[in-house]
Amino acid sequence: MTETEQTLSPTKIDSRILLLALSMFALGTDAFVVAGVLPVIAHEMGVTESLAGQLVTAFSLTYGIGAPVLAAMTGRWARNTVLLAALGAFCLFNIGSAIAPDYPTLLLTRILVGCSAAVFGPLAYVVGASLAPAEKRGQALAQVASGLTIATVLGSPLGTWVGEHFGWRLSFGLVALLGGIAFVMLLLFKLPKAAPTPVLSLGTRLAPIREPRLVLAFLPALFWNLGVFVVYTYIALLLRHNLNITDVSLFLLVYGLGPMLGNWICGIVIDRVGSTRPIFFFLAALLIVEPLLMLTTNSVPGAFATLFIWGLCIPMLFTPQQHRLLQLAPEHANVILALNNSTFYLGIAGGAALGGLTLRTVAITQLGWIGAACILLALVLFAFSVRLSKRTDQQAEPMQESMQREEVMIVPE
């Protein structure tokens, strides 16, 4: 019996999983809080809002590209050591963001935070699963992931509220404090020694993107995330412009309630109707919501309603996409989910960059049309992907039937 098995109760999930969830809460808060305090950062740093938005690009692009690369580079080191080192670095670099004297330094710290988050995030799920009995590993993964969900509901609004009332530097300080608490507690409670795991090379991790069918399956998610975050990154600017307010934290809280409900019902929806129809439906919903967001946010009730529906669409796309990818390539299960996560962060990075470039030539109230154009492209690409997958499956069926007939005809001598 391994040390991990000895420390586990057959009926209770290890409490250290909650510390990993707290760490993911800090990571999620860090990923989304910049959007809420972006106007404050731009004003204090003396840069434009579009340039301040590139702080989101720096973090997300580093995470999206760095996750598979850094996982391959650190794969031969002790898993628990890498996890704790990455969490410690995450806290230190966030302190660096809090005390950055100028914009270039702040941008550098966001890149470094992205690197540490890219190492820590995927490992948190692996370690969390190892801390639970086999029959409870699904619950363990859900508990770790709940940190990100709660960050959307509470972490981002709280960090925004702190930033707007006490300064944006304290928002990063809050993230560092939350991560630091989890770091110290994990040191005190000690993670059990992990059994050796096979090390995947970078080539193996990127193998799915060599298959055209899988590349076409990833592209819609890249564009719909780009379409969402070209607007979300600058949502504080939009709300301030349309409602003439300074505190947007309550509006971000309402937005966060959408993903919370979406996470709760998406599993039921997928089990009943599969993954394809929800993606089509909620892409069409986003295509309507994003332009409406520019108009309905002129009133508080309209802003609340549209933000909630907008937030609801996100998990109703992300989770069905995971389900669909697993159906397309079950042999690449672990790798393909990691690449899907990278696609999510690359979409955030691209959205922040595109939004920043767009704001140089158009008003903030026009961003919804740019987002809608990206989502329309995602919808078209998704239709092509579904059609290609069906055609591939139809071509594979006669071949499988032929192989089965040949097996039946073989008679041993």
CA distance 354 to 404: 51
Residue 1, pLDDT score: 40
In this structure, how many other beta carbons lie within 10 angstroms of the beta carbon of residue 199? 12
Sequence ranges of the domains in the chain: 15-188, 208-392
**Residue 144 pLDDT > 80:** yes
- Retrieve residue 372's tokens: 């809608």
**Residue 202 pLDDT > 90:** no
**Residue 2 pLDDT > 90:** no
> Does residue 329 or residue 253 have the better pLDDT?
253
Between 156-160, 246-250, 327-331, the lowest mean confidence (pLDDT) is in 327-331
In this structure, how many other beta carbons lie within 10 angstroms of the beta carbon of residue 169? 20
Between 135-144, 228-237, 337-346, the lowest mean confidence (pLDDT) is in 135-144
Between 135-144, 316-325, 372-381, the lowest mean confidence (pLDDT) is in 135-144
pTM beyond 0.85: the answer is no
Residue 10, pLDDT score: 46
CA distance 325 to 318: 11
* Residue keyed to tokens 């040390």: 3
> Does residue 329 or residue 182 have the better pLDDT?
182
**Residue 221 pLDDT > 90:** yes
**Residue 117 pLDDT > 90:** yes
Return mean pLDDT, the chain: 86
Residue 143, pLDDT score: 82
CATH placement of domain 15-188: 1.20.1250.20
- Condensed to tens digits (0 to 9), the pLDDT of residues 354-411 reads 999 999 999 999 999 999 999 999 999 999 999 988 887 666 555 455 444 554 444 4
User: What are residue 360's phi and psi, to 5 degrees?
Assistant: -75, -20
Within this chain, domains 15-188 and 208-392 share the same CATH topology: yes
Residue 74, pLDDT score: 81
Fold of 208-392: Growth Hormone; Chain: A; (1.20.1250)
- Condensed to tens digits (0 to 9), the pLDDT of residues 4-55 reads 444 444 456 677 889 999 999 999 999 889 999 999 999 999 999 999 999 9
In this structure, how many other beta carbons lie within 10 angstroms of the beta carbon of residue 286? 26
Residue 408, pLDDT score: 43
**Residue 332 pLDDT > 80:** no
Residue 378, pLDDT score: 96
- Retrieve residue 398's tokens: 């006669």
Residues 6+ apart with CB under 8 A from 162: 170, 171, 174
Residue 313, pLDDT score: 92
> Does residue 412 or residue 17 have the better pLDDT?
17
In this structure, how many other beta carbons lie within 10 angstroms of the beta carbon of residue 314? 23
Residue 72, pLDDT score: 79
**Residue 413 pLDDT > 50:** no
Contact 196, 7 (CB under 8 A): no
Output the 3-class SS for the chain.
Answer: CCHHHHHCECCECCCHHHHHHHHHHHHHHHHHHHHHHHHHHHHHHCCCHHHHCHHHHHHHHHHHHHHHHHHHHHCCCCHHHHHHHHHHHHHHHHHHHHHCCCHHHHHHHHHHHHHHHHHHHHHHHHHHHHCCCHHHHHHHHHHHHHHHHHHHHHHHHHHHHHHHHHCHHHHHHHHHHHHHHHHHHHHHHCCCCCCCCCCCCHHHHCHHHHCHHHHHHHHHHHHHHHHHHHHHCCHHHHHHHHHCCCCCHHHHHHHHHHHHHHHHHHHHHHHHHCCHHHHHHHHHHHHHHHHHHHHHCCCHHHHHHHHHHHHHHCHHHHHHHHHHHHHHCHHHHHHHHHHHHHHHHHHHHHHHHHHHHHCCCCCHHHHHHHHHHHHHHHHHHHHHHHHHHHHHHHHHHHHHHHHHHHHHHCCCC
CA distance 192 to 221: 36
**Residue 412 pLDDT > 90:** no
* Mean of pLDDT values over 198-220: 80
